[in-house]
Amino acid sequence: MRTQVGIIGAGPAGLLLSRLLQLQGIDTVVLENRSRDYVEARIRAGILEEHTVQTLVDAGVGERLQREGLPHDGVYLQYPGVRHHLDFPSLCGRRVWAYGQTEVTKDLISAQLDDGPPLLFGVSDVVPEDVDGDAPRIRFTDADGVPQVLECDAIAGTDGFHGVSRPVVTAGTSGRLWERTYPYAWLGVLADVAPSTDELVYAWHPDGFALLSMRSPSVSRLYLQVDPGERIEDWSDDRIWEALATRSALEGWELQTGPITEKSVLPMRSFVSAPMRRGRLFLAGDAAHIVPPTGAKGLNLAVADVTLLAGALTRLLAEGRSDLVDTYSDRALARVWRCTHFSWWMTSMLHRAGDDFDAELQLAQLRRVCGSEAAARELAENYTGLPVG
């Protein structure tokens, strides 16, 4: 088999990269070790920055997003007795959209299978080879058990934290890994109930953080701060609703409840791997970095990565110029670290982890953001998305 760019991983990063390259006349093949059903069922983030939305629309995969996505002009910050609205358009001229990563993935897969480059599910034994030269290859076994070799001009590793790409990069470079594991997790649920608020609510409470979000006008996405060792079996629906109601309580307002259809416990951590390139192998998305979901940056960072990478690979393969691939890692990491800091800051401000002294510091920070236009603008600019470039 022969292509210009071999892409390992059919999450949103890999699929969007393939789409962007296709629009520039660059051939790709996407390899995925899971089934289509598995990939389309993964529940992930759901807040899209304006840049992400515009990128998907420009790539021709934003029709359903524009029809079904929920635009949001701000968020609420809450602490006991106070629920304060941050108006993003007035603060920074931008907004965000609620549209699940699962739906983004479905849209990208549908476009890929309709008229896009090859997308192979159920592959195994994937090994990138000769990445330091100009003719790398990917060895793999296809879904029928037949060994294959994919000859490439470049390889994109968009296969996540546990994928095969990052170890190849770190083994052949003087790279570094940074990691921060947080002393709490999120218990996330999907519920068949209309959202109780018009915008997301980020709530600080002595019992722990809570987040009220949504997936559609009839489906709510809700989160509770829990200990990392919590077992999902110990959280009945009634216990979840009681904790959510307590942590988001506000006089004159009531949380709406309904059937819970999904439950999971998500550990919280920050992770950055550098560099994001070794020779002709390039990392993007969760293969290179992970952020806690508090700042809604994970999917948006992946889109920013592949936007940069698509331009760099097009310049290399269509024009024979290496300037953008040579600077790809540094340019991507500058944005990664900015977003990693913002995600850490949001997480640290809203989650109970220390003593009463720490709690008062958190409340002081929340009062500052709610009471200062400058502080509110800083949050709004970061939350709605920094420039990509």
Q: How far is CA 100 from CA 60, 298, 319, in A?
A: 18, 12, 36
Catalytic, out of 12, 117, 195, 293: 293
Catalytic, out of 51, 205, 289, 297: 297
Reference 100, options 265, 214, 211; nearest CA is: 214
Catalytic, out of 72, 205, 289, 351: 72
Q: Are strands 137-141 and 147-151 parallel, antiparallel or unpaired?
A: antiparallel
The answer to whether residue 202 is catalytic is: yes
Catalytic, out of 99, 182, 184, 383: 383
Q: Which helix (H) or strand (E) holds 186?
A: strand 176-191
What is the C-alpha to C-alpha distance for residues 55 and 47, in angstroms, rounded to an integer?
14
Instruction: Render 338-366 in DSSP notation, one character per residue.
Output: HHHHHHHHHHHHHS--S-HHHHHHHHHHH
The answer to whether residue 51 is catalytic is: no
The answer to whether residue 217 is catalytic is: no
Reference 294, options 368, 194, 225; nearest CA is: 225
Q: Which helix (H) or strand (E) holds 152?
A: none
Structure tokens given for 36: 């289509």
For the chain, count helices (H), then strands (E).
12, 20
What is the C-alpha to C-alpha distance for residues 199 and 71, in angstroms, rounded to an integer?
9
What is the C-alpha to C-alpha distance for residues 295 and 341, in angstroms, rounded to an integer?
10
- State how far Cα 249 lies from the chain centre: 29
The answer to whether residue 72 is catalytic is: yes
Catalytic, out of 202, 289, 292, 328: 202
User: SS3 of 239, please?
Assistant: helix
The answer to whether residue 38 is catalytic is: no
What is the C-alpha to C-alpha distance for residues 121 and 123, in angstroms, rounded to an integer?
6
- Annotated catalytic residues are 72, 202, 293, 297, 383
